[in-house]
Structure 1
Amino acid sequence: MFEQPRDEESGVYVPPPDDQQRDPDATDDPLPEYQDTTVFPVWLRESSKSFRWGWMPLPFRKAGWAVVRWVKGPVPPRTLLLKPLFPRLQELPAHYLNRLFPKRWHKIVLLLLLYVSWFLPWFLVMFHARTSGYIEGYGRPQTLSCTSTYWSSSRNNCGLNGNECRPFSSSHLAFRCPAECDATILLEPHVVGNHTYNYQGLVVGGPRESSSKAIYRADSFICQAAIHAGVVSKINGGCGVVKLEGASHSYPAVKQNGIQSVGFPSTFPKSFSFVKLSSSQATCPQDPRWPLLGVTVAAIVLLWLFSSSPAVLFFSTFFILISHVALVSDPPPTMYLADLVSIFLSRLLPASFIVYVLYRFCARPLLQPLSAPIYQLTKTFLYLPLAFIGALNNYTFAKWIPLQRLTPHDIQQQPGAKLALCLVVPIVLSIILGQAWHIRCGGLMPHYLKVYCSMGLTLIVLLSLPDLRLRIHHYILAILLMHGTAFPTRPSLIYQGLLLGLFVNGVGRWGFASIIETPAALGESPVGHGWWGAAYPNITNASVLISLPGNDNGWTYRGNGNITFNLWEHERMQDLGVDGVSVLVNDVERWKGYLDEDKSGEFTWHRHGHRGLELIHGPTIESADPDMVGVSDIAEEDEEPEDLFFRFAYLKGAESGNYGGAGVWLKDGTWFSPPPPKD
Structure 2
Amino acid sequence: MSPDRGATDSPGAAAAQSYPLQDLENSGSGSGSSEYVNVHRSGSSDSVSAHASSPPVKVEEDDDNEHPGYDEPLLPTTEPRATTTTTTPLAARGQRAGWMHAIQSWIRAPQSPRKYKINPLLPSLQTASIRLVDRYLPGRRSKIYALLIAHGIWALLFFLILHSSVVGPQVPGYGNPVRLSCNSRLWTNATNCGLNGDDCRPFDNSLFAFSCPAGCKATIVLEPYTVGVEEINYQSLVIGGSNTTNEDGDDIGIYRGDSYICAAAMHAGLVSDQSGGCGILTRTGEHSHYVSVEKNGISSIEFPSNFPLSFTFERESVPKCRDVRWPLFAISVFFSCILSLFITSPAIFYSSIFLVVWFQVSLSSDPPYFPDYSEVVSLSLGCLLPSAFVGFAIYYFCVRHTLRDLTAQWEKTILWVGGCWVGALDNYTFDRLPISRLTPHDIQQQPGAIPTLIVILCVLVAVVVTQAWAFKNEGRLQQYLLLYGVMACGILALVAVPGMNLRIHHYILALLFLPGTALQTRPSLLYQGFLVGLFINGVARWGYDSILQTPAALLADAQLGSILPEIAVPTITGNNITFTFAGLAAEADGISVLVNDVERFHDFREADGTVEPFTWTRQREGDPEYFRFGYMKVNALGGTWYEDFTKPGIWEADGSWVQMEPGSSR
TM over 0.5: yes
SS of 2:145's partner is helix
Q: Conserved in 1, the CA contact under 8 Å of 2:650 and 2:658?
A: yes
Among candidates 194, 212, 215, match of residue 229 of structure 2: 194
Match of 1:602 among 577, 593, 612: 612
What letter is aligned with 1:547?
I
Q: Distance in 1 between matches of 2:392 and 2:459?
A: 29
For 2:445, the equivalent position in structure 1 comes to 413
Do the aligned partners of 2:565 and 2:631 also contact (CA within 8 Å) in 1?
no
Whole-Å separation in 2 of the counterparts to 1:568 and 1:323:
58
CA distance in 2, matches of 1:505, 1:660: 39
**Which residue matches 2:629?**
647
Please name the residue that 2:410 is paired with: 377
- Give the secondary-structure state (helix, strand or coil) at the position aligned to 1:657: strand
Change in CA separation of 1:151 and 1:57 when aligned onto 2, cut-off 3 Å = closer
Q: Find 2:593's aligned residue among 583, 594, 619.
A: 583
Matching residue of 1:450 = 482
Deviation at 1:514, TM superposition (A): 2.0
- Using structure 1 for the length normalisation, give the TM-score: 0.79
Hey, what does 1:539 align to over in structure 2? 566
Kindly provide the CA deviation profile for residues 162-193 of structure 1, in whole angstroms up to 9, marking residues without a partner as x.
Answer: 22211111111101111121111112222211
- In 1, are the aligned partners of 2:244 and 2:252 still within 8 Å (CA)? no
Pick closer, same or farther for the CA change 1:461–1:178 going to 2, 3 Å: same
Offset from partner CA, 1:302-345 (integer Å, 9 cap, x none):
11111111111112211211211111111112222111112212
Q: How big is the shift at 1:80? A: 2.0
Q: Which residue of 2 aligns with 1:352?
A: 388
1:234 matched to 2:273? The reply is yes
Q: Following superposition of structure 1 onto structure 2, how do residues 26-425 of structure 1 map, counting pairs within 5 Å?
A: 59-153=95-189, 156-208=191-243, 212-278=251-317, 282-370=318-406, 374-399=407-432, 401-425=433-457
Q: Secondary structure at the match of 1:592?
A: strand
Q: Offset of 1:244 from its aligned partner?
A: 0.6
3-state DSSP class of the match of 2:437? coil
Alpha-carbon contact 1:191-1:197 (below 8 Å) kept? yes
Amino acid at match of 1:539: E
What SS class does the counterpart of residue 658 from structure 1 fall into? strand
Shift of 1:201: 0.7
In structure 1, distance between residues paired with 2:593 and 2:338:
61
RMSD over aligned Cα atoms: 2.3
Can you list the C-alpha shifts for 1:227-273, whole angstroms capped at 9, x where unaligned? 11111122211111000111112211111111100011111111111
Residue number in structure 2 paired with 1:565: 580
Where structure 1 has 5 or more consecutive residues not aligned to the other structure, the ranges are: 1-53, 550-559, 611-638
Distance 1:473 1:652, change over 3 A: same
**Higher mean C-alpha deviation, range 356-365 or range 135-144:** 135-144
| 1:557 paired residue number | none
Q: Give, in angstroms, the shift of residue 641 of structure 1.
A: 4.8
Quick one: structure 1 residues 603 and 437, their matched pair in 2 at CA, closer, same or farther if it must change by over 3 Å? farther
CA offsets, 1:189-244, max 9 Å, x none? 22211222121111011124687431111111101100111111222111110001
Rounded to whole Å, the distance in 2 between the matches of 1:250 and 1:58 is 77
Asked if structure 2 preserves the Cα contact closer than 8 Å seen for 1:84 and 1:375, the reply is yes
Taking structure 1 as reference, are residues 417 and 198 closer, same or farther at Cα in structure 2, changes over 3 Å only?
A: same
1:81 Cα deviation from its structure 2 partner? 1.8
Gaps of 5+ in 2: 1-89
Match of 1:674 in 2: 660
Q: Which letter does structure 1 place at the counterpart of 2:286?
A: A
Identity across the alignment (%): 40
Work out the CA distance in 1 between the residues paired with 2:245 and 2:573. 32
User: 8 Å contact 1:538–1:676 — kept in the other structure?
Assistant: no
Distance 1:567 1:304, change over 3 A: farther
Change (3 A) 1:60 1:261: closer
Which AA in structure 2 matches 1:454? Answer: V
Counterparts of 2:105 and 2:316, CA distance in 1: 76
State the one-letter code of the partner of 1:435.
Answer: Q
Assess if the C-alpha contact under 8 Å between 1:387 and 1:499 holds in 2.
yes
Name the residue aligned to 2:31. Answer: none
490-499 or 80-89, which deviates more:
80-89
Contact 1:249 1:268 in 2 (8 A): yes
Q: 2:383 and 2:289 mapped to 1: Cα distance?
A: 44
CA displacement at 1:408 relative to structure 2: 1.6
Does the Cα contact within 8 Å between 1:535 and 1:650 map onto a contact in 2? no
Aligned residue identity for 1:491:
P
Give, as a single letter, the amino acid of the residue that structure 2 aligns with 1:535. Answer: S
Supply the distance in 1 between the matched residues of 2:655 and 2:245 (Cα, whole angstroms): 28
Q: 1:190 to 1:608 in 2, by over 3 A?
A: closer
1:490-569 to structure 2, matched below 5 A, reads: 490-523=522-555, 534-540=561-567, 543-549=568-574, 560-566=575-581, 568-569=583-584
For residue 327 of structure 2, give the secondary structure of its aligned residue in structure 1.
Answer: helix
Using CA pairs below 8 Å that are at least 6 residues apart, which structure has the higher relative contact order? 1
Shift of 1:672: 2.6
Q: Deviations over 1:100-149 (max 9, x none)?
A: 11111111111111111111111111111121212222222122111111
State the Cα distance separating 1:518 from its structure 2 match.
2.9
Contact kept? 1:189, 1:523, Cα under 8 Å: no
1:17 match: none
2-structure distance, mates of 1:181, 1:524: 21
3-state SS, counterpart of residue 148 of structure 1: coil
Partners of 1:245 and 1:253 lie apart in 2 by 19
User: CA 1:586–1:87 in structure 2 vs 1: closer, same or farther (change >3 Å)?
Assistant: same
Residue pair 2:564, 2:644 contacting (<8 A) in 1 also? no
Q: Is the 8 A contact 1:78 1:442 kept in 2?
A: yes
Larger radius of gyration: 2
1:462 correspondence with 2:494: yes
**Alpha-carbon distance between aligned partners in 2 of 1:59 and 1:525, rounded to the nearest angstrom:** 54
The structural deviation recorded for 1:677 is 5.3
**Is the 2:118–2:408 contact (alpha carbons within 8 Å) kept by the matching residues of 1?**
no
* Aligned mates of 1:465, 1:204 — CA distance in 2: 42
- Cα deviation for residue 599 of structure 1 reads 4.4
- Offset at residue 640 of structure 1 (A): 4.2
Answer with 229-238 or 58-67: which moved more. Answer: 58-67
Paired residue total: 567
CA change 1:604–1:74 in 2 (3 A) is same
SS of 2:504 mapped into structure 1:
coil
In structure 2, C-alpha distance between the alignment counterparts of 1:156 and 1:597, rounded to whole Å: 25
- In 2, Cα distance between the equivalents of 1:482 and 1:349? 20
Structure 1 window deviating more from structure 2 (429-438 vs 655-664): it is 655-664
CA distance in 1, matches of 2:283, 2:557: 35
Instruction: Mark the CA change 1:597 to 1:321 in structure 2 (over 3 Å): closer, same or farther.
Output: farther
What is the CA–CA distance in structure 1 between the aligned matches of 2:482 and 2:118, rounded to whole Å?
A: 26
The answer on whether the counterparts of 1:547 and 1:561 sit within 8 Å (CA) in structure 2 is yes
1:228/1:57 Cα in 2 relative to 1: closer, same or farther (>3 Å)? closer
